[in-house]
Amino acid sequence: MSGAAITAGERPADYIEPRRIIAFLAMVFGMFMAILDIQIVSASLAEIQAGLGASSDEIPWVQTSYLIAEVIMIPLSGFLSRMLSTRVLFTTAAAGFTAASALAATATNIDQMIVYRAIQGFIGGGMIPSVFAAAFTIFPPSRRAVVSPMIGLVATLAPTIGPTVGGYISHAMSWHWLFLVNIVPGILVATAAWTLIDFDKPNLSLWKKFDWWGLAGMAAFLGSLEYVLEEGPGNDWMQDETVFVFTVVMVVGAVLFFWRAFRAEEPIVDLRAFTNVNFAFGSLFSFVIGIGLYGLTYLYPIYLGRIRGYDSMMIGEALFVSGLAMFFTAPISGMLSRRMDPRVMMMIGFLGFAAGTWQMTNLTADWDFWELFVPQILRGVSMMLCMVPINNIALGTLPPERLKNASGLFNLTRNLGGAVGLAIINTMLTHRNAFHYARLSEHVQWGNPAATEKLESLSRNFETHGGIDGSAAALARLSAMVHQQAALLSFMDVFYLLTVLFASLAIFALFIRKPPATVGGGGGH
């Protein structure tokens, strides 16, 4: 080719306009902000509680309201994106998320904060699926090895480093900055989205076919499901009247939603994507990835806080290793996705994840940064090795017109996996803790020579050093030791369950159809 300018007709088949690449990077950053926001706030709820004078029963709603609103928006975003266009939806989502962040920073009581967080979660939720759909719409299959690791990295890295970033912000500044940090990047993302996105055109005729009953059913179903999974473990599930009422609402909402999904002319969520076998399997794997991703992001801080007595800053520093491992593995997983059967990649990822959780079944009260180092690296590396082929298998074979709806469903499965995983983990921790405490207490009795000897030794120690009632202090100390040991054993049980889950998934990966070498559909326009 001569040095003359390349004309449009002479461009290579996989050429992508620079403005589209910049627009996509802006969208990826917007998604990063929306996902990160959940975790940076969860690490600093104690500071927000103190600042707003909220009770311990009220403060979890800062998270719950965000998650409920987000889980409704994620599947809805596919329809809105087709009706309004990616440009309008994403710009509105980025601008609304930024405005709601500013409002949350001005909250003076818990009620205001809950409302602002719900707005933030609902509007911000529109950014996440849009990025996945755009990636598979504007990039041809030959470029997917670069794009897929990028969105996979953002979707997994943001929840992982969230506690670190949140701990640092609330320590270095005040809790208001957890929300204020979103404002300048949010304005930049919204501006870039409005100026640069030109992937598709709106179809405003869909407004006349908008299925309001379907939306009501979906909101009742998913919102109630999120509430039941969040509140159930701590309130003994159906024994709690509110949880029971929301369960009934969930069932009624589910019936209405699925009825409308199959009967409406233009359903809010098009479930036909699940007829694509690869999409169905990809969504199933995405659900389990959600359990692993959000479950471990929750378990490690709880262990370090309860057993080791770490504050949010120390927890963040201890858990940064996983984020670094993900960051460095992302480009490697992109290269491997071009050279390796995606099923083999997933198997390696699932087995690596299982190996990391298996190591955690040997947990003791003395485990610190270095004992957690290898399990954390295994978690980070394995997560990226799984995420890239799962994204490609699920979304890579769908035609462009199905991508927007399917992307919302695909992201929803990961979020629901996280919610279901946390509910199971919380329930297990509570029940297994009580079980182990009862078993250990049976042995720590007057009739047990080892227990009696330990009690007398502690008693003498306290009397020698403290001049206090040695027997009472020794009894309290022994009780605390039994409680701690019961908690440790319940953690081990959860890690064991996760090990079995991911090891069995590695076998399951063998049963997927091998995707074609060059995935069709959804190439560049």
Neighbouring residues of 461: CB distance < 8 A, sequence distance ≥ 6: 470, 474
Terminal CA-CA length for the chain:
24
CA distance 317 to 294: 18
What's the helix, strand, coil split of the chain in %, to 5? 80, 0, 20
Neighbour-count burial for 378-416, b at 16+ CB within 10 Å, e otherwise:
bbbbbbbbbbbbbbbbbbbbbebebbbbbbbbbbbbbbb
CA distance 330 to 81: 28
CA distance 104 to 182: 11
Q: 170 and 43 in contact (C-beta within 8 Å)?
A: yes
CA distance 155 to 123: 18
Q: What is the pLDDT along the chain (525 residues), one digit of tens a residue?
A: 444 444 444 566 566 778 888 888 888 888 888 888 877 887 777 788 888 887 777 777 888 888 888 888 888 888 888 888 888 988 999 999 999 999 998 888 888 888 999 999 899 888 888 887 887 777 777 777 778 788 878 877 787 777 778 878 877 888 888 889 889 999 999 998 888 877 778 787 777 877 788 888 888 988 888 888 877 777 777 777 888 898 999 999 999 988 888 887 888 788 888 888 888 888 888 898 888 888 888 888 888 888 888 877 777 777 788 888 888 888 888 888 888 888 888 899 999 999 999 999 988 888 888 888 999 899 989 988 888 888 888 887 777 777 878 888 888 888 888 888 888 888 888 888 888 988 877 766 555 666 566 656 656 666 566 656 656 666 666 677 788 888 899 999 999 999 999 998 888 877 777 665 544 333 333
In Å, how far are 446, 456, 466, 469, 480 from 473, measured between CA atoms?
16, 11, 10, 6, 11
Neighbouring residues of 100: CB distance < 8 A, sequence distance ≥ 6: 116, 117, 119, 120, 123, 124
Q: 77 and 129 in contact (C-beta within 8 Å)?
A: yes
Q: 156 and 383 in contact (C-beta within 8 Å)?
A: yes
pTM over 0.85: no
Structure tokens at 138: 């504007």
